[in-house]
Amino acid sequence: MPSATTISVNDSSAVAHVFRPISKAGMKVSFVNEDSNTAAGNWSCNVDYSLASNGRKTDRFTFNLAMPTEQLVDGEYEVSDIGRVTVSAVIPTGFTAAQRADLAALLKNFLSNATIEGVIADRDPIY
């Protein structure tokens, strides 16, 4: 299992944002981008693991991203919105390393597909 370390992620303008781990509790790790400080807090990411057990033959992973924004109202900054994304993965314990790698690649490539990006970036539903 990899150790919690800083993660660098580019935004749509190819500007790198560094998320550093701020807490680890059991199988949950929280990351924060301190350069994105707003009245609502920082951009953040949580990674939560639930490994297979005797009663369940799947590992489960949940990734949560939060991007708060603020606006200036009467000379004061206040929370305007918080954009959120949640991705859940259910991985059968019988999957081989190659199958897990394929699933990770499919997820990455699916999310970077122009049609899928447009759903979020352009609020453009697929019909």
**Domain spans, the chain:** 7-93
Q: Tell me the residue ranges of DSSP E strands in 7-112.
A: 7-10, 16-25, 28-38, 41-50, 58-73, 76-92
Task: Please give the average per-residue pLDDT across 52-59, as a whole number.
Answer: 94
pLDDT at 1: 61
Instruction: State both tokens at 45.
Output: 């990411």
Mean pLDDT of 40-59: 91
Which residues are bridge partners to 61 per DSSP? 49, 89
Q: Tens digit of pLDDT for each residue in 60-94?
A: 999 999 998 888 888 888 888 899 999 999 999 99
Task: Tell me if 43 sits within 8 A of 33, measured CB to CB.
Answer: yes
What average pLDDT does this structure show over 33-56? 87
Domain 7-93 class in CATH: alpha beta
